[in-house]
Amino acid sequence: MELIFHEKQEGSLCAQHCLNNLFQGEYFSPVELASIAHQLDEEERMRMAEGGVTSEDYRAFLQQPSGNMDDTGFFSIQVITNGPELISDTYLALFLRKLQKEGYSVFVVKGDLPDCEADQLLQTIRTGFRCVGQVGLELNSSDLPASASQS
């Protein structure tokens, strides 16, 4: 790796900076994280409505502010864990098309491929995060394969 990306802390946007530093680039903005928070709020509202929109619990829920974000820059752990994802099929198709336009050859390999260390590391990363307070993620180096934690 030539350079290490580090996004300087700005305000209380710990979740944004944590994710961008983890993924080594400016991938998440407060607007994108707020969008995820609003999506989670809507899912929670729909779940609460299942108990009846006239119920006392539902009315009380509607009066509460979002538990997924606030005006200070706080984002819940649910927002943080919903942010990272593998690229979508649409993005992948656009990226592959761009590569082809730039003159690269793109090949698709079908069939069962042997397991490789990258697949094992990806699986570990998907399950190896744990919450650190309300705003951070930490990858446990003890959860990584021996060869990955030595680098």
Tell me what the mean pLDDT of segment 93-113 comes to: 83
pLDDT of residue 126: 57
Full-prediction pTM beyond 0.85? no
Q: Is the pLDDT of residue 130 over 70?
A: no
Domain ranges across the chain: 14-86
Q: Which long-range contacts (CB under 8 A, 24 or more apart) does 117-124 make?
A: 117/145, 117/147, 117/148, 120/145, 121/145, 121/148, 124/148
| pLDDT over 50 (residue 144) | no
Dump pLDDT digits (tens) for 6-58. Answer: 888 888 898 999 888 888 888 899 999 999 999 999 999 999 999 999 999 99
CATH topology for 14-86?
Helix Hairpins (1.10.287)
pLDDT, residue 110, reads 80
Q: Give the C-alpha separation, 124 to 119, whole Å.
A: 9
Kindly state the tokens that stand for 55. 């119920």
Q: What are phi and psi of 75, to 5 degrees?
A: -130, 140
CB neighbours of 74 closer than 8 A, spacing ≥ 6?
Answer: 12, 14, 15, 134, 135
Q: Is the pLDDT of residue 89 over 70?
A: yes
Percentage of the chain modeled with pLDDT above 70: 77
